[in-house]
Chains A and B, each alone.
Chain A
């Protein structure tokens, strides 16, 4: 079965810190990776796709990169409103498969 493995599963960082989340695909997915943010009690929100294109309205402190099997989501300066869970998802073809999520908290 195809798997997307995210790490870490949770992190706690201070406001202003640089935060990096990684996502590893079990097979080559080229550039077909997206990242979603889900704040507590809200609907998932598309942040990045392709895997470095910021969706409209997403702050520039978010960036994404990678190719093939290894991808990253970076928040250059963590803000209080960034608290939530982040998911990677591969979309090179069905099935669309999510990573297990990374819960981000403020220290």
Chain B
């Protein structure tokens, strides 16, 4: 069974940094694209970025709203994906979800497996 467990969410002040982790199990982690999404209360989901498999180059792509402030990485040996967030703003508040692509094909960027999320609140 595919399982994704996010951790690291917290209440932080604007301008501070935070790192989220996603611990995966139930599949060969290194074979799949992993992505982070977020959802503010009462709003729709928003894509943050993804990291392709190491075998496909480990390329990372980001949404414009977070590029330069957020960084996604992966540790295939530990089956963990990370989201490093810096210079946090109040509009970064929300539930953050770690997801896995359904298939292994390049470009199959639809995400069938979601964790339960970890909450980030940015407030002074």
Contact = CB atoms under 8 A, between A and B. Distances in A.
Interface of A: 32, 34, 36, 38, 43-46, 49-50, 55, 85, 87, 89, 91, 93-101
Interface of B: 35, 37, 44-47, 49-50, 61-64, 97, 102, 107, 109-112, 114-117
A101 B111 contact: no
A55 B61 contact: no
25 contacts: A32-B107, A36-B45, A38-B45, A43-B114, A43-B117, A44-B37, A44-B45, A44-B97, A45-B114, A46-B112, A49-B102, A49-B110, A55-B112, A87-B44, A87-B45, A91-B109, A94-B61, A94-B109, A95-B47, A95-B64, A96-B47, A96-B109, A97-B47, A98-B44, A101-B44
A85 B42 CA distance: 11
B114 A91 contact: no
Nearest to B117: A43
Contacts of B46: 98
B41 to A, nearest CB: 12
A45 B97 CA distance: 12
